[in-house]
Amino acid sequence: MWKYECKRNLTYVIVGAFVGAIIFGVLGWQRDFFTEVFLSTAEQMGIENAQTIINPMMFYVFGAMFIGGLVNGMLLLFQFVNRFHINPLIVMMIFMIGSEVIVGIGTLLLIPSVIVYIYGWLTIPNRKQQKELHKNAVTTVKEAERVYRLHHIYDEKNEEYATSAWNIIRRVNILYFAGVIAFLLLILYVENIGVVMVGGVIFMMLFFQLTRYKNTALQPIISLLYDQCDPEACATAIFSLAKKSHKKKNFHLTQQLAQALIYLNDPHLAVDVLVTGPQTRNVNIYPYHTLMAYAYYQLGDEGMVKHHYSECEKNKDTKPNSPAAIFCTQALESIQNKIDLMDQNFSKAKSFYEKVLKSTPLQFQLVDAHYYLGLIAFVEHDLYEAEIHFTYVQEHGNKMYFKQKADSFMETITSLKEADK
């Protein structure tokens, strides 16, 4: 939902305006050129004594409007891209060809956009409820780790995954900073605006490549849960990475940490991690609601599960075959499945998990599906079917709490079989 992006967009525009005021006002970049343009335009408009109108503060305002407008234009372009799912390469071409148009539109709509951003930020759905959750939640990385250590194993040998990831992230951050400095020097010392715009496009392309490289560095940590079914190792690595990067409130992998906590049967801490994380936006809002619904299912709160179903439905993309619409459909199906389980609508729940078994390549999701299929079969007194699924969980569940549950169910099944002899 666009309102979740308003606070971020407002911050970007304000920072852009501040940077523009420094570049054009304090550093005086291209001051002579813009003065000449202003005098020429004033002469064409028939304004006499235009020289007397020029005031040093004018360059601060102009700089703030220009860079703020550039940032706003890019944000509007990205909104357009996300809305109609346009290829990023086409976006680059649009920016290179029509950069002046983008800056002009962004500057023209700067003040209206700021008003919309403020309105959207202040009217985020369920803002009061979100504040209440924040009030009662574990709100810092240090406190979350302390609570985690009270209930779960923190194995320091898994910190090596965080060390490896952090070394790459640190190098990427240095390259980010070097790129920003190089771009600022380009702005200050190159007179040709076209060259500056091309430099900006190259910087953005390199930025996207570095971001992809940084995300790849996090894959081994994610794999601990997704492929090895080891939520303890995954959570330990994420906590360690947060400490190494001096994070105070947010985690690099908030979604994966919440998943690990859910599969360690710690829904309270999972909810705390999710609600104190960064504001969700775009397609990221669907995993947020899915995980919150899963945690509240574990807590037995059907009202909150239905609440997150409703919130997810409100953000449904109207374009039927778009990626966002597909993610939303999957999220709604997942949350509806939890509602079906709570309402003991086992036939629908069984169909959902059988579909998961056929479609997912991820081991932790297979274990999840097998566990619930075994649970449904056990409740329906189909001990043969339950044994098949629980055996799979025992063999592949590793450190997911489902394995302990499956062990317990298998003991019960064995006892029942022996009693029938």
Residues 367-391: b if buried by 16+ CB within 10 A, e if exposed = bbbbbbbbbbbbeeeebebbbebbe
Cβ–Cβ under 8 Å, residues 207 and 179: yes
| Most distant CA pair in the chain, distance | 109
Cβ–Cβ under 8 Å, residues 282 and 200: no
User: Which range among 133-142, 171-180, 230-239 shows the weakest confidence by mean pLDDT?
Assistant: 133-142
Asked if residue 131 has pLDDT above 70, the reply is: no
Backbone φ, ψ for residue 410 (5° rounding):
-65, -35
Asked if residue 122 has pLDDT above 90, the reply is: no
The model's pLDDT over 276-334, given as tens digits with 9 standing for 90+, comes to 776 555 557 889 999 999 999 999 999 999 999 998 888 776 566 777 778 888 999 99
Cβ–Cβ under 8 Å, residues 224 and 161: yes
The more confidently predicted of residues 169 and 87 is 169
The more confidently predicted of residues 311 and 43 is 311
- Other C-beta atoms closer than 10 Å to the C-beta of 46 total 7
- Give the contacts of 91 (CB within 8 A, at least 6 positions apart): 77, 78, 81
pLDDT confidence of residue 276: 79
**Residue from 68, 55, 53 nearest 22 by CA:** 68
Cβ–Cβ under 8 Å, residues 70 and 108: no
Q: Report the C-alpha gap between 167 and 165 in whole angstroms.
A: 6
Q: Report the C-alpha gap between 225 and 235 in whole angstroms.
A: 9
Alpha helices in 45-158 (DSSP H): 56-84, 88-97, 99-108, 110-122, 127-136, 141-151
Helices and strands, number each (H, E), in the chain = 21, 0
Q: Report the C-alpha gap between 263 and 31 in whole angstroms.
A: 60
How is the chain split into domains, by residue range? 2-122, 140-277, 279-342, 344-421
Q: What is the pTM of this model?
A: 0.75
Cβ–Cβ under 8 Å, residues 106 and 214: no
pLDDT confidence of residue 57: 79
The model's pLDDT over 49-67, given as tens digits with 9 standing for 90+, comes to 666 666 777 778 888 888 8
Under the banding of pLDDT at 50, 70 and 90, the label for residue 73 is confident
